[in-house]
Amino acid sequence: MGNEAIARGAYEAGVSVVTGYPGTPSSEVIMTFHEYGADLPIYVEWAVNERVAFEIAYGASITGVRSLVTMKAPGLNVASDPVLSAAYSGSEGGLVVLVADDPGPHTTQTEQDSRWYARLAKLPMFTASNPNEAREYVKKLFALSEELKLPVFFRTTTRLNHAVGEVVLGEVEEVKRRPVLAKDVKRFVRAGMSWNLERHAWLNRVLKTVEEKARRLGFNKVEGRGSNCIVTEGVAYNYVVDAVRELGLGDYRIIKIDQLYPPPTEFLKESLRGCGSILVVEELDPYLEEIVKKLAFEEGLKVRVLGKEEGVLPLEGELNQGLVARAIRAWLGLSEPGPAPPSTLEVKPPERPPPLCPGCPHAFTYLALKLGISRAGFKLSEVPVFGDIGCYALSVNKPIEAIWTEHSMGASISMAVGAKIAGYSKPVVATIGDSTFFHAGIPALIEAVHKRVDVLVVILDNSYVAMTGHQSTPAWGETETGRKTKGVSIVDIVKSIGVDELVVIDPYEFERAVEVFRDLVKKPGVKVVVAQHPCRLMEVRKLGKVRKVRIIEEKCTGCRACVNVTGCPALFIENGKARVVEEDCTGCGLCIRFCPFKAIEWADSV
């Protein structure tokens, strides 16, 4: 897999420190090190958030060792402050920043195009088109980073991270360095404004050398000799190759850009000579298109450049071979093909929103919260429930339909505070996961307490970063690598902040949870409920065997209450009766609680 190849490339480059924050589609890079690199002399651990992860990797880099930091696109937003400052200070040991964009999007709240961050930060950025290139390029980027003395971005997209392909392994470099850090305040202290001006000038000089160094390392390529030129990069290159082959084009030239920033202008000038027409094929924003159009104008090239701005390719979503082939046809004025044979028609499955897993403790918590709000005398439509980033955001879907918002990591508490200080008269609730609370929720809770805002905060603590693959949180006493740690208690943190009331519940104790929410939603002040129960999937794996439920057919009326209230994917209706998917049932018993006819019982009941 692409992420495994990236890990392999970093290992071959002699990386010493690997850190990051879980985020699909980047997570498997560090997970690969955890699975295969337990005996390697490499520090590989998750950090509390992307900013901290980058600063750890950067601190290691300035001592001369090689480091890698991984994150998904919105994680770069979190890390952007230290990233931009690092451009002025520069690095020593090779520092590669993997940022994974998510066209589609598949698992991300935005279709962010992180290529613009390279221009903003003034840091070199490169990309690859397949897993083997990813391994090769990551290895080269560590060397390039050390030559430039700058952190270097490696930007991927979901299809590269999760694509599977053959990878030719390379030699593992012997990089044994004793960490050394020399005092250099003009370089590393950003408090001196004249120093900052000097470092900015240094950075601009270094950026002018990137293209030549990248050329020597084999980045950027041209295929074909025709006058019809296609400029492309990353995964889109594969679609172009396949579409050109499908259309049987003979007069074409593919200009493959690996160096995204600074743009390889000399390479482009040379490569675009003789082009009679240019099509730019890229995912997300018209980033390369803007660069090519500017260069064509400056060079006086009498050539038309088409791409996303002209509507030849969409501005949203992923590309695919069909979209690219259609764009090439439009660009070249080729006739549209006839209807595709049935076997190649796109088949659209019926829409099915992703549910919470069977037995998910968050389902218990949200249902208890809704019941508690109702029992307190409020309408569900008048008490906003601010959500956050994590698997519990799936509670937005039917039938639970609990959260009203899901914005960015840690924003639930801050947005709830904003609603109250704006004068919202009814109660407001913020819900946030344990990992997200560690990541970005703590400062927002401090703000709520400091400003004496009336808000109910529910921390959904399932002991894992569950949505991205069950990674560790700071509460763990031992990490995936076996490193013994000091677990940090969420309850202790909340107590230390000084909230007005703190209650710890197990959402599986459903009736108590309902009563707690009923009481707290009416009270003034900052109230925090920590809903603690392990992710049921992981709990079942540890238990090995759990009780199951069964349907009492003669009592079941097919009323659908069990399905319509809990949304449990282990339940379905067939022939007018409820049915249980035994292999999916985790034995949580929530359906027993909501069956009005007592038609569900434990399978081992007499």
Rounded CA-CA distance 314/234 in Å is: 17
What mean pLDDT, rounded, does the chain reach?
93
pLDDT digits (tens, 9 = 90+) for 199-230: 999 999 999 999 999 999 999 999 998 899 99
Q: What is the mean pLDDT of residues 427-449?
A: 95
Q: Is the pLDDT of residue 308 over 80?
A: yes
pLDDT tops 50 at residue 529: yes
At 229 the pLDDT is 96
- Is the CB of residue 54 less than 8 Å from the CB of residue 83? yes
If we measure between CA atoms, which residue out of 514, 480, 532 comes closest to residue 367?
Answer: 514
Please determine, for residue 468, whether its predicted confidence score (pLDDT) is greater than 90. no
457 vs 369: CA distance, rounded Å: 11
Cα(322)–Cα(339) distance, integer angstroms: 13
Provide the pLDDT for residue 352: 76
Whether cis (ω within 30° of 0) applies to the bond prior to 25 is: yes
Q: Report the C-alpha dihedral over residues 21, 26, 31, 36, rounded to 10 degrees.
A: -130
* Residue written as token pair 């090239």: 301
Decide if pLDDT at 98 tops 50: yes
Cβ 531 vs Cβ 361: under 8 Å? yes
What average pLDDT does range 63-89 have in this prediction? 96
How far apart are the C-alpha atoms of 362 and 359, rounded to whole Å?
Answer: 9
Residue type, 318: E
Sequence-separated (6 or more) residues with CB below 8 Å from residue 466:
390, 391, 433, 535, 537, 538
What are the tens digits of pLDDT across the range 341-374?
554 556 677 777 788 999 999 999 999 999 999 9
- Residue-wise pLDDT for 30-62, tens only, equals 999 999 887 899 999 999 999 999 999 999 999
d(CA 546, CA 586) in angstroms, rounded, equals: 7
Strand 253-257 and strand 152-157: the pairing is unpaired
Is the model's pTM score more than 0.85?
Answer: yes
Mean per-residue pLDDT for 137-166? 97
SS3 292: helix
Alpha helices, H only, 285-385: 287-298, 321-332, 361-375
* Contact assessment for residue 329 and residue 323, using Cβ atoms and an 8 Å cutoff: no
- What mean pLDDT is predicted for residues 171-183? 91
Task: Write down the pLDDT at residue 606.
Answer: 41
User: Average of pLDDT values for 103-128?
Assistant: 94
Chain centroid offset of residue 136 CA: 23
Domains of the chain as residue ranges with CATH: 2-216 (3.40.50.970), 221-335 (3.40.50.920), 361-541 (3.40.50.970), 546-602 (3.30.70.20)
Alpha-helical (H) ranges within 422-558 are 434-436, 442-450, 490-497, 510-520, 536-543
Do the Cβ atoms of 80 and 49 come closer than 8 Å?
no
Taken in order 153, 158, 160, 162, is the CA torsion positive or negative?
positive
CA–CA gap between residue 463 and residue 55 (Å, rounded): 25
What's the pLDDT band for 109 if we cut at 50, 70, 90? Answer: confident
Where residue 337 falls among pLDDT bands split at 50, 70, 90? low
pLDDT at 556 over 50: yes
Rounded mean pLDDT, 1-27: 96
When pLDDT is averaged across residues 574-593 and rounded to a whole number, the result is: 94
269-274, long-range: CB < 8 A, 24+ apart: 269/295, 269/299, 271/222, 271/229, 272/229, 272/296, 272/299, 272/301, 272/303, 274/227
